[in-house]
Chains A and B, each alone.
Chain A
């Protein structure tokens, strides 16, 4: 069964209807609703869906592996496009996490910091806003916090690096070259209200512009 999505009902408008016809057919529209046209606010519906999932999946355990499994189960109800995006992101996180643990276990003298489940939750919170391509997930050995780097091949080959701290701060650094080096770095805080999560777009926009 597909999850209900957030839709905005508007008055009949053939041009908008034809523009979103394909999208609409991908979703289940509530049968009892009498509507002439459905306008799907794509990014908002994805964010809203993800907020629902984040709230629904229990975080009590704090075990990252268990969290990864719980979230992965939730994607069964997603449409194909979103499921691919989320599964792909979780595959990257899982790969980074497993590699980190195995290197820590192999090393008898030096154990890395325990990966932070708060940082993990802070990382996956922003999946709707993250680009699907050119993104890599890493784990900081000094802090056990998760981070992502986003690289593009556009002019100046910019890099955006985001580290998700346990206290919900996001440490960011954007680097590119034009005539000389450009650096935009700092710390951001997006509180714990999931509906405020999309404000991270203001940082991600630096690399997507």
Chain B
């Protein structure tokens, strides 16, 4: 088994991206559920997963993330009604951690990043999730459908 060591990110204004499933989207925004850590997973989730991309535009960044997701999980399904959220993790973690250390972003096997909750106080968690929602910007797949579709076809051709 490969042990992945996580390190503190050294980038400034680190923009991270995360796939959002359709049920976690309401009125064009990611819901609170998107930032819930599911401890009842097998194994339990320790962090919320994100990816980083150095691509220049939104569509290419998303395609890069789809590629990275499928590299980790071969048949990862991207739903048409899903989306991708973009988060300035530097700003979000600065604002969340002003008074208490509540979250920590770590680089775990680039381009993958994990967001860890350091507090188990429910008020801290709700506050952190609300700030994460506040800073998240969501791009719906529907608008990017064509590019995602062509990317999927490209992947199918190369498999």
Chain B interface extent, by class = 20 to 34
Quick check: A149 and B98 within 8 Å, CB to CB?
A: no
Asked if B123 CB lies within 8 Å of chain A CBs, one says: yes
Quick check: A142 and B36 within 8 Å, CB to CB?
A: yes
Question: Which listed residue, A138, A172, A175, touches B33 by the CB 8 Å rule?
Answer: A138
Quick check: B123 and A186 within 8 Å, CB to CB?
A: yes
Given contacts A113-B40, A142-B38, contact A181 B98 (CB under 8 A): yes
Chain B's closest residue to A99 (CB) is B23
CB distance from A169 to the nearest CB of B (A): 9
Quick check: B42 and A109 within 8 Å, CB to CB?
A: yes
Asked if B39 CB lies within 8 Å of chain A CBs, one says: yes
Quick check: B133 and A149 within 8 Å, CB to CB?
A: yes
Asked if A200 CB lies within 8 Å of chain B CBs, one says: no
Question: Which listed residue, A142, A151, A181, touches B131 by the CB 8 Å rule?
Answer: A181
Chain A interface extent, by class = 20 to 34
Quick check: B40 and A163 within 8 Å, CB to CB?
A: no
Given contacts A112-B40, A138-B33, A140-B36, contact A103 B23 (CB under 8 A): yes
Chain B's closest residue to A157 (CB) is B134
Chain A's closest residue to B36 (CB) is A141
Chain B 7-42 residues near chain A, CB threshold 8 A: 23, 26-27, 29, 31-33, 36-42
Instruction: Report the Cα distance A160→B40, complex, angstroms.
Output: 27
Instruction: Report chain A residues within 8 Å CB of B134.
Output: 157, 159, 175-177
Asked if B126 CB lies within 8 Å of chain A CBs, one says: yes
Chain A 3-53 residues near chain B, CB threshold 8 A: none
CB distance from A39 to the nearest CB of B (A): 37
Instruction: Report chain B residues within 8 Å CB of A65.
Output: none
Given contacts A110-B42, A136-B27, A136-B31, contact A161 B36 (CB under 8 A): no
Chain A 132-148 residues near chain B, CB threshold 8 A: 136, 138-142, 147
Question: Which listed residue, B39, B122, B130, touches A159 by the CB 8 Å rule?
Answer: B130
Instruction: Report the Cα distance A186→B123, complex, angstroms.
Output: 6
Asked if A173 CB lies within 8 Å of chain B CBs, one says: yes
Given contacts A159-B130, A181-B95, A185-B123, contact A142 B29 (CB under 8 A): no
CB distance from A171 to the nearest CB of B (A): 5
The 5 A-B residue pairs with the shortest CB-CB distance, nearest first, are A185-B127, A181-B95, A161-B130, A173-B127, A173-B130
Residues of chain B touching chain A, judged by Cβ–Cβ distance below 8 Å, are 23, 26-27, 29, 31-33, 36-42, 95, 98, 122-123, 126-127, 129-131, 133-134
A-B contact pairs, 6 of them (CB 8 A): A110-B42, A141-B40, A142-B39, A165-B122, A173-B129, A173-B130
